[in-house]
Structure 1
Amino acid sequence: MEINNDYIIHQRGMNYSLLPYSRTMHHMVRLRVTYNGKRIDIRTGIRVEPRFWDKKTQRVKRGFRYQEETDVTINAALISYVRFVNLYFIECERNFRAPVLTDLRDKFNYLYKHTGKLKKTEFFYLFEEFIKIKSGEKGWGKDMVDVYERLLEKIRKFKADIRFTDLDTQTLEAFKESLAETMYNDAIKKNLSYLKSFIKWAKSKHYSVCEDFETYDPKLPKAHISVKYLTLDELDRIYNLKIEEGSALDQTRDAFIFQCYTALRYSDIKQLRPRNILRGKDGYIIRLLTEKDDDAIEFPLAKRAVAIYKKYSGRIYDEGRLFPILSNQKYNEHLKELGRAADLKGE
């Protein structure tokens, strides 16, 4: 190991050799990498007849052909493998990180030896690596890590076996539409930009990405929504309705009143956990990352919101949520019922 003013230089060695393979005339080409007194053998998946192997140059001789591969394509692959190893060590040097030979082999296998299982997991494996590395490099807080982890889960839900080469215009449009089911356009733009930063990073690691991704530029104008407001009198009428405690209608009323006093969407109400409500010096505050905008927010709770929080805080609901959760359809149906009971006009 040598020390440079800008980075550490890790000395390494590489050589190719042949290994007998399954009692056939073809042998497997093995790449051996040595570093810091240790070594690791990487099986390239390339098969060659020994008589066509040049030990001196560690390349395939002219005229060899195996299935669809020729001496030209095989030697090009061997050169790219050496380049891949060198780039791995250079990246470690630049980031002052010690190379790990097993990590090198894993990355090689993910990039070059795609089994059916690896094809399905490569995208998500690399996304998780991206989150780990970038959160350390850029000092991301928990909120930013959550943003990327939520995006990862949205992609996994959209297409569990997605690959980098799948990211054509049609797939990206379909993913945009899936985001639109729970997000506004501004949040969709943010999520697509986060995805773009990951893909750009993956390309820097020499992963092949569909060319459509570079030019994909969805049109997402800001929506103009007609909003109807309740008066304080109308809100009080809903709040003071005599409803059986613990019923679905009672739970809907509480969630709605909590929304009105916090300006949270129902999608955010559904994500609330007891840890999102904190006891501050001057009362209770709420702190969370919003679902549709991916914004970190914090603000004090009004008295009625505090009363509703206390009503539910001692209970346990699915997945540790703060409130019992109804489907959007049921929630909207119960809201209409509450409106009729409170003699509100309109839809």
Structure 2
Amino acid sequence: MIIKRNIIFSLEKRKKNDLQILENLPIRVRIIYAGERLDMSTGYRVDLNKWDEDKQRVKPSTTNKLKQSASEINASLIKMESVIQDIFKIYEVKEEIPSLSVLKGEINAKIKIQTPIVENKTTKINFFETFNQFLRECAKEDNWAPATIKKYTTLRNNLEKFDKRISLDSFDHKKLDKYLDYLVTKHKYKNTTLEKHLKFLKRFLKWGVGKKYITNDAYKDFFPKIKKVRKKVIFLTKSDIDKIKNFQIPDEKQYLERVRDVLIFSCFSGLRYSDLYALSWDDMKSSSLEFVTEKTDDKIIVELNDHTRAIIEKYRYIRFPKNKVLPVISNQKYNDYLKELGELVGFNDSIKEVFFRGNERIEIVKSLYSHFSSHIGRRSFICNGLYMGIPVHIMMKWTGHSDYDSMRPYIDTVDSMRSKAMETFNKM
């Protein structure tokens, strides 16, 4: 049995009158194992500028207020670490994990002669409080979009429903397998969604290991075989777009006209819904759109064409809230109206969707219009652009895709279209 643990020596940070104390700070030892944390004082103190945080030792050729030398203090710290390691090795042989109180008692008994222990502090590290810390820190440091925060909040909620008593070091391969099974059986997640949740969980565990809150790094070599079928890229061809543009919208459904305009603008600009919604007149240049994307904070320049110019001109003298260029409604309402528009125009062809849920293969047949969503305009822009021969690297500059792999589904779709188009020559 191996008990994974971290033994960390550090200075105890203290403040007085809201100012950090820089002198005579206690050196403490923190022991993290099996989701537990034990903080103990070593009995030594040293000034902040005499402590090497990377090496976790007192800097050579220095002394503390009691004239104790660096070599004397460091020798005691090394001996203390050795004693702690020996205690864990004994429990590994016994195949037991010591409780916090037992570990504290044995450390006190073994090092009492060499170093007086002035204080002991035991803390049970709460999994969900730690996850909240991860969420706060990463959201701030990486400037997460609200959608990303929502995804990790969903992960946290799922983990709490899965096991309220879960500990930070719980996730060995067996526990990870159980969690994935739970997501399939209780939440009916598709395998593609399952893979995303595992990716999010691994990121949290990696963060925890880096912070030394987690000693179990079994997640690193956990790569379950998740059955997947590459999702079909559904987009609007040139003839589809023309069909939508030329359709006469009934008088009682004139609210769909603006929805159509936003869709057409997206089909010829490649903008995500979030960027369509945020697009303002400040982003407008004489021949291009220049803006910072809402999702990735990338600066994007998208040149205008006749189609996007026409829609801009249509709304030039209409003022929308926050100086917006386009009449973009909420995402949910926009998706609902897109489906309504698609059904009205007559996109009723059946499309089979194949996916896996665990090991179960599932096939669902839906009408084309039911697949209409705010992303269909962006997909249409990419596929039509590639089909017309626009180089991939130029398309990526317009769309903000950062790597070639993210474009591969579109490239494969277009290659398939070209192969079918070539077959028409067989009829000549």
Normalised by the length of structure 2, the TM-score is: 0.41
Which has the higher Rg, Structure 1 or Structure 2? 2
Normalised by the length of structure 1, the TM-score is: 0.48
